[in-house]
């Protein structure tokens, strides 16, 4: 345990030595006091593979616990990546918001927190804020690249995409787009930085790391096609950065798109069961029917028809049949 390192300001302790070469597996040990274990910790698995010289890439999944493609792709990578394959350093955290991952839930069963709204964190603010603070203040400064692997979760199904922000820094923007091109998801989603919220992606950008988020499926399940895209995308990123040998495998170039405003969302005006008119990935037109909202409280009244207010790709659809007022049931993307 001599590899354990503690950093001023954080109570999180790593069982791996980020400066060492070779392959290490251990945990980030995050304090979590319980009534029956005042000094309890939650160990978050981490794998570091380092060799020779080259950049550092932080690969994370399980930011939300019910998004599975990234978790499985990184578990595979953690099992198989060998130091001799690597030039540089790969830090892999396959199940980052560990209590949410163990529960298969988006939000933490400890306190209901959304980990991706916890940055830059607080060292003594509880598990999620404490871990976010460690990742921001200890890990991100070590990194050249960061990829945070999301999917749509239990509620939404999304066309497999990487996701980045429109950035003021043209240089960082170009590197981000090159990274997204290398990942080669079907869609590259670019969103305005404004109102990004306190996410890991925004924090990585603020620290000058070339960084992407992603949406690689959803519906609360592990989709085999999206898992394949994710595995290849991760390998492509490592090749793109020069950490692995070889060139990224590119199939069809990724389609660069955006969701410009709230008019590209369809929201449920009341609770009900959503019957979509179109399947994920369809081309849809403003004014066309988006689907019907069926209300169980009124079986003799009509179902409520909703329409699209924008034209484009049906990029995201409601997966779960039951919706609550205010839930998005469709999100449309347009080409940049």
* Interaction residues for a copy of itself, span 249-278 (CB under 8 A): 261-263, 267, 270-271, 273-276
**Measured distance CA(225)–CA(14) in Å, rounded:** 34
Q: Residue 302 has what DSSP assignment? A: P
Q: Are strands 328-335 and 255-258 parallel, antiparallel or unpaired?
A: antiparallel
Binding-residue pattern over the window 73 to 102 for a copy of itself, x denoting contact by CB under 8 A: -xx--xx------------x-xx--x--xx
Question: In this chain, which stretch among 138-146, 160-168, 179-187, 216-224 interacts with a copy of itself, using CB under 8 A?
Answer: 216-224
Task: Give me the helix-helix angle, 224-240 and 170-183, nearest 10°.
Answer: 130
Residue 233 binds to a copy of itself (criterion: CB under 8 A): no
106 binds a copy of itself (CB under 8 A): yes
Measured CA to CA in angstroms, residue 222 lies from 5, 106, 281 at distances of 35, 15, 18
Residue 304 interacting with a copy of itself (CB under 8 A): no
> Which residue's CB is nearer to a copy of itself, number 75 or number 172?
75
Number of residues that bind a copy of itself (CB under 8 A): 101
Q: Select 47 or 179, whichever has its Cβ closest to a copy of itself.
A: 47
- What sign for the dihedral angle of Cα 113, 214, 211, 89? positive
Q: Does 325 bind a copy of itself (CB under 8 A)?
A: yes
Instruction: State in angstroms the smallest separation of the CB of 247 from a copy of itself.
Output: 27
- Alpha carbon dihedral 104, 60, 91, 32, in 10-degree steps, equals -50
Phi, psi at residue 23, to the nearest 5°? -110, 125
Q: Cβ closer to a copy of itself: 101 or 182? A: 101
**308 is an interface residue for a copy of itself by CB under 8 A:** no
Could you say whether residue 47 binds a copy of itself (CB under 8 A)? Answer: yes
Using CB under 8 A as the binding rule, the residues of this chain from 151 to 180 that contact a copy of itself are: 152-156
Contact 162, 212 (CB under 8 A): yes
């Amino acid at each position: 345990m001599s590899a354990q390192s503690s950093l001023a300001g954080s109570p999180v302790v790593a069982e791996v030595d980020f400066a060492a070469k070779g392959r290490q597996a251990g945990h980030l040990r995050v304090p979590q006091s319980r009534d029956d274990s005042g000094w309890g910790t939650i160990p978050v698995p981490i794998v570091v593979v380092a060799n020779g010289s080259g950049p550092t890439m932080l690969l994370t999944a399980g930011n939300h616990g019910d998004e599975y493609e990234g978790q499985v792709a990184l578990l595979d990578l953690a099992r198989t990546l060998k130091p001799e394959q690597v030039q540089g350093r790969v830090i892999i955290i396959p199940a980052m918001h560990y209590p949410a991952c163990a529960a298969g839930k988006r939000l933490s069963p400890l306190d209901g927190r959304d980990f991706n709204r916890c940055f830059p964190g607080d060292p003594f603010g509880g598990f999620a804020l404490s871990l976010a603070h460690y990742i921001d203040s200890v890990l991100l400064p070590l990194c050249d690249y960061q990829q945070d692997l999301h999917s749509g979760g239990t509620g939404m199904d999304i066309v497999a995409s990487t996701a980045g922000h429109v950035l003021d820094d043209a240089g960082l923007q170009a590197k981000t787009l090159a990274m997204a091109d290398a990942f080669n998801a079907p869609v590259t989603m670019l969103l305005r930085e404004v109102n990004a919220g306190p996410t890991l992606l925004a924090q990585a950008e603020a620290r000058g790391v070339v960084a992407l988020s992603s949406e690689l499926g959803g519906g609360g399940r592990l989709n085999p096609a999206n898992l394949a895209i994710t595995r290849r995308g991760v390998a492509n990123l490592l090749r793109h950065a020069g950490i692995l040998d070889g060139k990224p495998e590119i199939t069809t170039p990724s389609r660069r798109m955006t969701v410009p405003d709230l008019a590209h969302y369809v929201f449920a005006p009341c609770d009900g069961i959503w019957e979509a008119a179109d399947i994920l990935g369809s081309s849809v037109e403003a004014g066309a029917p988006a689907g019907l909202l069926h209300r169980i409280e009124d079986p003799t009244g009509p179902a409520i028809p909703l329409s699209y207010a924008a034209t484009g790709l049906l990029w995201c659809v409601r997966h779960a049949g039951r919706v609550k007022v205010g839930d998005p049931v469709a999100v449309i993307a347009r080409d940049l």
